[in-house]
Amino acid sequence: LVGVLVDLQGSEVTVLLSGTAYVVAYVMIACFEFFGDWSLFVAFVLLGIGGMGFFLAAFRAAGLTESRVVFLTAASCLYDSSSGVFLVVQGLLNVYDDGYGHFRAAFLLLAVLSLFLTLALAYAWRLSGADLVDREVDNRKHDDAPRLYNRPFGAGQLHTLEFGLLSAWTILGMFKAIGYLGTIYDWLDAIGDGTNSVPDLIAGLVVAGCLWIPILAHLFRLGLCRAAHVINVIGLAFSICVAIPSVTSQIIGAIVYAAFRSAFFASVPNFCAQLFGQKSIGRTAGLLYTMGGFAALLCTPIVWAGESGYWSWVNAGNCLLVVPMTGCILSLHMFSAELCLELRPPSSE
């Protein structure tokens, strides 16, 4: 739904509504003692909706830049790094550990900052004319166009081999990424590490995802499928490191996982922009992220298997995910006529 709003109403409207969701959420968190515990659930839902709105709205500005690849990669990595805001708030609250007063003040301050930044960003969107640029880049489409970005959203883009294979790859990749976070604590306990140092390292590396922007921007300039093959190899490498029952290997695995996570999540908007075009990027990327999010539901049996001691099966399955993921990418550049899926750098970007 957020993607539909981005594509059909534009980024300015999306930013204003997303900012409103942020402000309301922060106020509800700050005053949850007055509203009740139910307000925390509503607040986190609003933060999720608002965050996705800002995230998808940013993709539309890629048409204003000289390098769409760099912009989309940076937007994805910075979105991951935004989780550091709450780490900063938590650190400040730990300094002033005197109860509810500073907690409420911190989130009310976040509400004020969100309101100010939302209004400033919405005004910047209006000045930029990004929505108008998108309409110029993507002229009117028809169902039988030879290129996907010249077809209408819906049957023209979704009922295609390319979208089906990309959806499968996205779901498998998110299953791999989310499954690791769901099992790492139990796996560390199983190998005798009770310090939780590795999860703390993962949290720090995710926040530092913006540091990968120069490397990933260069990676995606090599071509979509070539970059996806590299991402699959990085995913296999982190799975192998995790499968080795030593703390040192887990630390290395956490570092490689951070690279895989940043590269994988940044690949989705790059695929959507080059395959389906700027005008439908909110809907196509939003749909892919939503379908991938359902992979979290599939992680329940994996967590249960780990808790039951079947770690050999869990680790083997994590490594073998590279087979269907590689199959999806091979099929994309073997059976699709899209030029951007060829194993070569794109001619222009």
Tokens read off for 303: 């967590």
What backbone phi and psi angles, to 5 degrees, belong to 196?
60, 20
pLDDT digits (tens, 9 = 90+) for 162-199: 888 988 999 999 888 888 888 887 888 887 765 566 66
Entry pTM:
0.78
For the record, the structure tokens of 248 come out as 């040192």
Is residue 137 predicted with pLDDT exceeding 50? Answer: no
pLDDT of residue 225: 84
What is the rounded CA–CA span in Å between residue 260 and residue 266? 10
Q: What's the pLDDT tens digit per position in 97-107? A: 656 666 777 77
Band of residue 323 on the pLDDT scale cut at 50, 70, 90: very high
At residue 289, the pLDDT reads 83
CB 217 within 8 A of CB 67: yes
Q: What's residue 345's pLDDT?
A: 53
* Pick from 70-74, 202-206, 210-214, 301-305: least confident: 202-206
The three-class DSSP label of residue 83 is coil
pLDDT tens-digit series, residues 261-277:
888 888 888 888 788 77
Task: Supply the DSSP symbol for 147.
Answer: S
Is residue 347 over pLDDT 60? Answer: no
Q: How far apart are CA 178 and CA 292, in angstroms?
A: 10
8 Å CB contact between 220 and 67: no
Interval 30-40 mean pLDDT: 78
- pLDDT tens digits for 238-259? 899 988 888 888 888 888 888 8
| Residue 248 amino acid letter | T
Distance between CA 89 and CA 76 in Å, rounded? 22
pLDDT for 111 equals 86
Rg over CA atoms, the chain: 21
Residue of higher predicted confidence among 261 and 77: 261
Task: Find out whether 106 and 89 touch, Cβ atoms under 8 Å.
Answer: yes
Task: Name every residue whose Cβ is closer than 8 Å to that of residue 77 and which is 6 or more positions away in sequence.
Answer: 209, 210, 212, 213, 216, 262, 266
What pLDDT shows up at residue 348? 46
The larger pLDDT score, comparing residue 96 to residue 27, is at 27
